[in-house]
Amino acid sequence: MAKILIIGGAGMLGLRLAQALLENGEAGGVPLERLTLFDMAPAAIGDGDGRLCVETGDIAEAGVAARLLAGRPDVIFHLAAIVSGEAERDFDKGYRINLDATRALFEAIRVENAASGYCPRVVFASSLAVFGVPLPDVIGDDQILTPMSSYGTQKAIGELLLADYSRRGFMNGIGLRLPTICIRPGKPNAAASGFFSNILREPLAGQEAVLPVGEDVRHWFASPRAAIGYLVHAAAIDTAKLDGRRNLTMPGVSATVADEIAALERFGGKEAVALIRRQPDQAIEAIISTWPKAFNAKRALALGFVPDASFDAIVTAHLEDAGGR
């Protein structure tokens, strides 16, 4: 019987992962016994399921990680993070949550490992922000990590720690560099990447959306559904096949803003496209120009991670998920 812990369980991915795990009723072929969602705020999820446990706290605080391990989760998803913009504005907070809390978690696992041989699967959400310019148009699995933000630095350090703690046998870790999630559900937000989702989600719902960059801007995407698939797959994969390279760039769909708009027209017609308001923003254009455009994610594909089939599939997933929930 599998016990699963999601750290960052109240976030967009954490909640959807929880719903998927509860629906699947198993993880890696083992029936789900208990699913604990941990976050700063209580996860907004129905409490009717006896397998579910919602906990709150600060993962960076001394003793909190050890307390979370008391239930001996077989699989730990570590999704908690201060996002890029905030980690850049608040240096201390970014390092405290994105680095110190990650290390505190791994350290608590090491202590348990020494005491009892406990060795959980740890699935760590890393980020494309570990990469920095200059970047080739299509990035391979051996691209050097030269982050250009404190967030990217913290994620790159998390990857290194995960690899070392796993190599030493304290835990069985796997790190996933997730593509930019599109179409991100919810309201438009201030993130530099927000427009990639806004220009689809809002017009599809009859609302205006702002496009701050040109149509030739290209980036790397996964639907929330594909991202959840990656996390679930990572929990069950045979990590011996990783050959000690524990951190993987996830596959995705490479698309330009023009590709997005063409998809929008197919699903919403010209009147949807007319809801996009072009309002060039040089600051956002400058940030996005340093971002990855496309990857050849050979290793992850060979290991069975399955991306969205096309950009249209990303829109379809959004419409189905938005309709179903």
Residues marked active site are found at 151
Separation between Cα atoms, residue 101 and residue 274, nearest integer Å: 45
The residue among 144 and 283 lying less far from a second copy, judged by its C-beta, is 144
CA distance 77 to 65: 13
- Toward a second copy, which CB reaches closer, 37 or 163? 163
With CB under 8 A as the contact rule, the residue among 167, 241, 277, 278 that binds a second copy is 167
- Residue 119 and residue 25: Cα distance in Å, rounded? 22
3 state DSSP class of 65: helix
Number of residues that bind a second copy (CB under 8 A): 22
Spell out, one character per residue from 245 to 274, where the chain touches a second copy: x when CB under 8 A holds, - when not: x-----------------------------
Q: Please, which residue, 132 or 268, has the CB nearer to a second copy?
A: 132
List the one residue out of 227, 221, 219, 222 whose CA is nearest residue 291.
Answer: 219
- DSSP secondary structure string for all residues of 109-162: HHHHHHHH----EEEEEEEGGG--SS--SEE-TT-----SSHHHHHHHHHHHHH
**Cβ 197 vs Cβ 182: under 8 Å:** yes
CB of 164 to a second copy, least distance (A): 4
Q: Look at the chain and count its residues.
A: 325
Footprint on residues 87-106 left by a second copy (CB under 8 A): 91
The Cα 177–Cα 191 span in angstroms is 18
Supply the minimum distance, in Å, between the C-beta of residue 150 and a second copy: 6
H helices within the chain, ranges in order?
Answer: 12-24, 64-69, 84-89, 91-94, 102-116, 150-167, 194-204, 224-236, 257-273, 282-288, 298-302, 311-324
* CB-nearer residue toward a second copy: 77 or 131: 131
Are the C-beta atoms of residues 77 and 123 closer than 8 Å to each other?
yes
Whole-angstrom Cα distance, residue 7 to residue 16?
A: 13
User: In angstroms, what is the minimal distance from the CB of 144 to a second copy?
Assistant: 5
Q: State the minimum distance, in angstroms, from the CB of residue 143 to a second copy.
A: 7
Residues 122-161 that bind a second copy (CB under 8 A): 132, 142-148, 150, 153, 156-157, 160-161
Is 143 or 316 the residue whose CB approaches a second copy more closely? Answer: 143
Q: How far is the CB of 211 from a second copy (least distance, A)?
A: 29
CA distances (Å), origin 223, targets 90, 137, 240, 249: 29, 22, 28, 15
CB of 147 to a second copy, least distance (A): 7
Choose the binding region for a second copy from 163-171, 225-233, 274-282, 312-320 (rule: CB under 8 A): 163-171
By CB under 8 A, tell whether 175 contacts a second copy: no
Pick the binder of a second copy from 29, 117, 244, 324 (CB under 8 A). Answer: 244
Q: Which one, 142 or 216, has the nearer CB to a second copy?
A: 142
Considering only residues 40-69, where is the footprint of a second copy by CB under 8 A?
none
Cα(60)–Cα(105) distance, integer angstroms: 8
Residues of the shown chain interacting with a second copy in the complex, contacts defined by CB under 8 A: 91, 110, 132, 142-148, 150, 153, 156-157, 160-161, 163-164, 167-168, 244-245
